[in-house]
């Protein structure tokens, strides 16, 4: 779900333009797209009528022009579309209908998206032969009793569509996001063709997930499942640090005593290990799962910087919520297995670790929550049931990616 941060829409949106001649089934496909991908429908006419109804300064200007028999100019239209784009945070993106209609408006939309730090995802053109469009519209006119929708009027509308759409196709021809879709067949068949292309687009997007939760919340289990299903590389500070000690790395002498006591390792050590891991994993998979990092606000800022250098950012933060007594029970049970951690040895060290987590890392969760990135999951159930919830949330977050 996209959020507005400050005055900007976060770059997590799925933005689609759907072109098609009258009778191509554009309305049906629009409904399917909005339902499947939680998109807002943006029609120039609807946005204009809303401004007029609300009596805004733009609406009053537009109404004055319309009442005098004139056409609302692009200067007003671009402001109205801009207001619509920034005025809603209840969807994962936009489906545009009736905009852009001209070469100038195509540039306007491109400029709006640049200012709002987002971009068009895909432009679809439903291709249906004119004779088929005429038949469909005549049939619809008959079923709805619309005597004014005759063959002469329909053919005139088709001619106007082709005349206005051709320049727009030229504008977007080199964009790499223009897809022609065979509009013949059932609505479901046409939608499947559209959906296949969108799925390919979404697969190309980078994804970075932070797995947040107290020790004992099941982060390791959930991280492994997410990595396998979403082609993500796990970045676990715990594993990086333990491997540094195990391999007698250059930082092992500094790291070992801190791990034994369950204390946080200084950022200047952790950051070097994470940078190394990111470099080694470059080009592998579609992104990363961060487990055990960031644990402080400083680390959260550091991670933002690391990902920004790669041209990406945090997609979502999964917060695994488990009652404290259940955490203690799990950690105590883990202390008697081969998966035991250094701080699992006694009730005192377990409580100290949980207390430290609360004091040091809860502000990190608040930081990401303020940006609308936190997805809470009740994780006291068995791992499979928990993962079924996690998978749905991550799928949606990646689909509407930041």
pLDDT digits (tens, 9 = 90+) for 280-317: 887 778 899 999 889 888 889 999 888 877 767 888 99
Of the candidates 97, 103, 100, the one whose C-alpha atom is nearest the C-alpha of residue 113 is 100
CATH of 4-203, one of 3.40.50.300, 3.90.1570.10, 3.20.20.70, 3.30.530.20: 3.40.50.300
| Rounded mean pLDDT, 66-95 | 81
Answer whether residue 266 shows pLDDT above 80: yes
**pLDDT, mean over the chain:** 84
pLDDT on residue 346: 65
Task: Provide the sign of the torsion angle of the four alpha carbons 69, 74, 80, 81, taken in this order.
Answer: positive
Q: Could you name the CATH architecture of 207-399?
A: 3-Layer(aba) Sandwich (3.40)
Q: Do domains 4-203 and 207-399 have the same CATH topology?
A: yes
Angle formed by the axes of helices 74-86 and 44-54, to 10°?
A: 90
Answer whether residue 9 shows pLDDT above 50: no
Give the model's confidence band at 10: pLDDT under 50 very low, under 70 low, under 90 confident, else very high: very low
Angle formed by the axes of helices 297-309 and 267-280, to 10°?
A: 30
Q: Could you give the CA distance from residue 81 to residue 87 in angstroms, rounded to a whole number?
A: 10
pLDDT digits (tens, 9 = 90+) for 173-189: 888 899 999 999 999 99
Answer whether residue 11 shows pLDDT above 50: no
pLDDT digits (tens, 9 = 90+) for 100-135: 888 888 888 888 888 777 788 899 999 999 999 999
Distances (CA, A) of 380 to 216, 334, 373, 390, 402: 10, 16, 22, 13, 29
pLDDT digits (tens, 9 = 90+) for 185-212: 999 999 999 999 998 887 777 789 999 8
Domain boundaries, the chain: 4-203, 207-399
pLDDT digits (tens, 9 = 90+) for 345-394: 666 676 767 777 777 788 899 999 988 889 999 999 898 999 999 999 98
Name the percent of the chain lying above pLDDT 70.
91
Q: Could you give the CA distance from residue 234 to residue 285 in angstroms, rounded to a whole number?
A: 10
């Amino acid at each position: 779900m996209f959020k507005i941060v400050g005055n900007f829409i976060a770059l997590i949106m799925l933005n689609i333009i759907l072109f098609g001649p009258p009778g191509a089934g554009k309305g049906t496909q629009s409904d399917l797209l909005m339902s499947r991908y939680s998109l807002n429908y943006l029609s120039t006419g609807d946005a204009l009528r809303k401004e007029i109804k609300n009596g805004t300064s733009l609406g009053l200007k537009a109404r004055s022009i319309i009442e005098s028999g004139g056409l609302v100019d692009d200067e007003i239209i671009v402001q109205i579309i801009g207001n619509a784009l920034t005025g809603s945070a209840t969807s994962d993106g936009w489906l545009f209908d009736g905009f852009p209609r001209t070469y100038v408006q195509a540039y306007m939309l491109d400029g709006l998206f640049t200012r709002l730090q987002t971009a068009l995802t895909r432009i679809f053109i439903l291709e249906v032969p004119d004779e088929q469009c005429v038949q469909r519209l005549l049939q619809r006119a008959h079923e709805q009793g619309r005597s004014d929708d005759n063959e002469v009027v329909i053919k005139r509308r088709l001619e106007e569509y082709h005349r206005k759409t051709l320049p727009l196709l030229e504008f977007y021809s080199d964009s790499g996001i223009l897809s022609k879709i065979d509009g013949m067949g059932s609505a479901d068949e046409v939608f499947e063709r559209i959906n296949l292309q969108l799925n390919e687009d979404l697969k190309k997007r980078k994804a970075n997930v932070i797995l947040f939760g107290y020790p004992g919340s099941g982060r390791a289990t959930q991280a492994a499942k997410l990595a396998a299903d979403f082609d993500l590389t796990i970045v676990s500070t715990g594993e990086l640090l333990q491997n540094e000690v195990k391999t007698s790395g250059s930082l092992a002498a500094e790291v070992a005593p801190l791990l034994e006591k369950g204390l946080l390792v200084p950022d200047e050590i952790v950051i070097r290990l994470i940078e190394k891991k990111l470099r080694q994993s470059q080009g592998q998979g579609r992104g990363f799962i961060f487990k055990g990092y960031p644990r402080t606000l400083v680390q959260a800022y550091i991670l933002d910087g690391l990902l920004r250098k790669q041209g990406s950012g945090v997609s979502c933060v999964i917060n695994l919520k488990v009652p404290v007594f259940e955490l203690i029970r799990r950690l105590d049970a883990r202390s008697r297995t081969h998966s035991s951690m250094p701080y699992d040895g006694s009730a005192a060290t377990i409580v100290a670790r949980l207390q430290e987590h609360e004091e040091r890392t809860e502000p990190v969760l608040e930081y990401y929550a303020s940006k609308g990135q936190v997805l809470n999951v009740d994780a006291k159930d068995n791992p499979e049931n928990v993962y079924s919830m996690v998978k749905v949330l991550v799928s949606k977050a990646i689909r509407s990616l930041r």
